[in-house]
Homo-oligomer: A and B are copies of this chain.
Amino acid sequence: MGSSKQRRGNTRQRIQDVALELFAEQGYEKTSLREIAEQLDVTKAALYYHFKTKEDIVVSLFEDLTKPIDELIEWGREQPSTLDTKQQLIERYSLALAGAAPLFRFMQENQATMRELSIGEMFKDRMTTLLDQLLPPDATMTERVRCFSAIFSMHAGLFVLKDVEGDPEEKRKAILEVATDLITQAHRAD
């Protein structure tokens, strides 16, 4: 089957792939639809057959991401607020991140843009909820900082360490270890 056959029926997916790659690499605003279309060897209008707007492409990318996180939060809600639960939460979060690394890179590096995108607020809500599950009740400022630091370091970590030599999985483990330490320190048994 030739390349034109392969293209049948999965153009939408291909748009998402290329878009994510370019958005992550160059930023959302700097990536034009012309560029995406050219890389796919279709016309700009074809993109509009599959997505209503440029923003719609981003939204569709985040839909795949939102579900695992929502499930994670849901799972957390059903558990007792113990240290063990928290440690499991960020371990699972670490895995979720690893599974959607380019998307997180995009988010991390385009925060100004995210704020204007409809998806931005949505994502911020998730983060706030997750943070709440990691915090003790009536947390002190320092405890707050430790928790947000744990989460944010995980977000940034994957890309910042790109330049550092070493196995990706080893890096992830190292980040997870530090994050676990942070939330452990922030945990207070009542």
Which residues in A have some Cβ–Cβ distance to B below 8 Å? 26-30, 106, 108-113, 115-116, 140-142, 144-146, 148-149, 152-153, 156-157, 160-161, 164, 166, 170-171, 174-175, 177-178, 181-182, 185
Contacts and interface: CB of A to CB of B under 8 A. Distances in A.
Contacts of A171: 141, 145
Number of copies: 4
Given A152-B152, A152-B156, A145 B113 contact: no
Contacts of A109: 111-112, 115
A142 B174 CA distance: 5
Nearest to A31: B112
A178 B149 contact: yes
Top 6 closest pairs, chain A to chain B, by CB:
A27-B112, A29-B29, A109-B111, A141-B174, A149-B153, A109-B112
